[in-house]
A and B are shown apart, each in its own frame.
Chain A
Amino acid sequence: MTMAPVYLVDDDEGVRSALSLLLGTYGVRIETFGDPTAFLARAPKLKPGVLLLDLRMPAITGLQLHEKLAAIGCDWPTIICTGHGDVHACRRAFKAGVVDFLTKPIDEQVLIEALQQASGALDVHAEKAEAVKLVAQLTDREREVLDMVGRGWSTKEIADSLQLSPRTVDTHRANIAQKLGTTSVAEFARLALIGQAP
């Protein structure tokens, strides 16, 4: 199992060491932080990963940390864990885009499943980010052509629709293939779908 790195932020030393020990046995890369503020400063330099945040910490709550991280671009999949089985906090957590909400003490199986899901979400997240990046390289006209190819239109249909010569359309297709690094129509369709700028 390949899993994204996990960043654990919890003010309790015992919890940090126990969870890193446990996740270590699964071969998960885990970095722990006792101070949310220090983590906030470090986060932009870290590789994207899954956030495992304690809800109750001095000075700042896990939810607030999550919001602050999202604000600086670290909008990674987040799991909030709490000792309080707090329904209100839970509701707000999901509203804020948190992927899971775990109650302490966290059972091994539950934790691993949640992390796997979050990691998957991070993959999707990364994939989308990549697609957006690729599509962003295209000119407006190329994006139009990509969109039509993605819908399964032929070169002639595209040329008629855009009032271009089929030759020009072919030139655009060649440029697109070069920029996106693929000639597969199926891949074109996937990138056209998820590569729209957010």
Chain B
Amino acid sequence: MMILPNPDLAAPRMHRRLTFLRSSAAFAGGWLLLLAAFGVYSATSHWQAFEQEVSESGRALQRAISQRVAQHDAHLTGLSALGLAQAQPSEDFDLVAKSILRFYPRIVAIDLVRLPSSAAPDVVSSATSGDGSTVDPAQVSRAVEMLTPGKAAYGADAKPGHYRVMKRMNETMAVSLDIDGAKLVEGEELPRWATLRLSTAEGPLLETGARQPDAAGFLARTVSFDASIASATQPLRLSLQRHVTLAQLLPPLPFALFAALSLAGLVLVRSLLKHRQDAALAREAAEAASQREALRQHETKLAHALRINSMGEMASGIAHELTQPLTALLSQSQAGRRIAAANGLTDTPIDTVLAANVLQAKRAADILVRLRAYVGKSALEAGVHDLGRHVADIVALSRIDLDRRGIALDIEIPEAPALARIDPVEIEQVIHNLIRNAADAVEQTARADGRVLVALKPAGASYEITVSDNGTGIPPDILPRLFEPFFSSKPDGMGLGLSLCESIVERFDGSISAENGAAGGAIFTVRLPAAQDMQKREEAAE
């Protein structure tokens, strides 16, 4: 058996999935999420770019400083050789020293120091430039004391940012360079954003370049690069730093631009979705409207057929009711005439009166014949149709009314077509009538679980349509007269409904019967012969 779903309930469901986007909170949340994702992406990529830039600049500086530091060692070696070649301090040394000072501004003082074992050391020759100053010979003496000749050592300097490199030439001589650390880096080499720190094992030597802010700003960070200068004589550590602010990680303009564009995009998407949704809702509404319209038309057609049929049934009912007394009248009058004749009263006034009665009765009978002919004129439009489809149709139509009255309406029909030779509108009218009667009976009990079941099933060479309810049932004294015209158990009933049902069903060689169910309530059964003919089946299939 196939149970048809209630068509009115199987409506909008898919739109609920989309409606969450219509909530403003969800919309704003979605936007913020997009902005956060953009922020994280922007900060991460900028941070990586800064790290790379700092480390590239750091490496370049490391290379440059290493080269320069190595030059100092070379100068020391050159000067040492020059000093040793001459027994006495000469002008040559001074000339060379001065030339070095001129070409290498970071070297601000060159001193040649004598280190006698007995007497105090003294400066033999000294050349200075800029803020360079002659060395304290005692410092040189202390620094190179432990060195073997040819070795050099690092020495601190009193001036901030300066250091010295000193080399022992032999037992008694040493040479010293005063180096301005700040000039190890040449103007263009240090990027504007960079802070450079040079330090020795003893501590910081100098800091130059961009000033670091005293207090780190909100979410501000420092990108740094640290490296050692590979030199035995000048073991410097280099540290390059860049201060990065939130604004640099998350540039406001692109961020604002993204915010604006994403907002516009979301608004567009939302309006597109809303448009689509509205369109879907409109389509659904249109479908529902056209369904309602189809139902309404069906209802109108049915109501029209009912009016016509009811009129016919009424006329035929009246004809039937009048026929009986008329039959009695005619037969009695004819009997009367025969009695009169038997008593020799032929052609007497009593016979004439009876003859007139016979004529009038026949005249009335003719009127009834014409009335019946008029009623019977409604042509049969029988064809082979699927009972299941029409039962389902009429149940769908009746459901509107029963839903409103709070009565459940169930249907059971076989999946295979139930073909019978019928006029669909007429048969639908019968089922409609039976469902309405059932609903009325259920309503009288005022029960909450009121239910009407319409079932179609094959029964031998026929189909049976049963309409059962859990209403009041049929009083046994009424049962035999149920299908008589003008007989009604309803206070305002004409008594035509069931009589009409019977007339219609019989027109299609069917029958209708009523009984009370075992569990209470009434069961009406309509039987219609099945259309067996294969040819007719084909007709129906077309």
Contacts from A to B (Cβ < 8 Å) = 12, 14-15, 17-19, 21-22, 24-26, 56, 58-59, 83-85, 87-89, 92, 103-108
Contacts and interface: CB of A to CB of B under 8 A. Distances in A.
Nearest to A89: B506
B122 interface: no
SS of B interface (majority)? helix
A22 B509 CA distance: 35
Residue of B319, B330, B373 ringed by the most chain A CB atoms within 10 A:
B330
9 contacts: A15-B327, A25-B338, A25-B342, A58-B481, A59-B480, A105-B331, A105-B362, A106-B327, A106-B331
A84 B320 contact: yes
Contacts of A89: 506
Interface in B305-332: 316, 319-320, 323-332
Nearest to A60: B480
Contacts of A14: 324-325, 327-328
B376 interface: yes
Contacts of A21: 331-332, 335
B327 A18 contact: yes
Contact of B326 (A58, A84, A105): A105
Given A14-B324, A14-B325, A83 B331 contact: no
B361 interface: yes
B323 A105 contact: yes
Lowest 4 A-B CB distances belong to which pairs? A83-B323, A14-B328, A18-B331, A22-B335
Given A18-B335, A88-B509, A104 B481 contact: no
A142 to B, nearest CB: 44
A85 B506 CA distance: 14
Interface in B441-494: 480-481, 484
B327 A104 contact: yes
B276 interface: no
A15 to B, nearest CB: 5
Given A18-B335, A83-B319, A58 B480 contact: yes
A29 B331 CA distance: 16
B480 A83 contact: no
A19 B334 CA distance: 10
Contacts of B372: 84-85
A70 to B, nearest CB: 19
A26 to B, nearest CB: 8
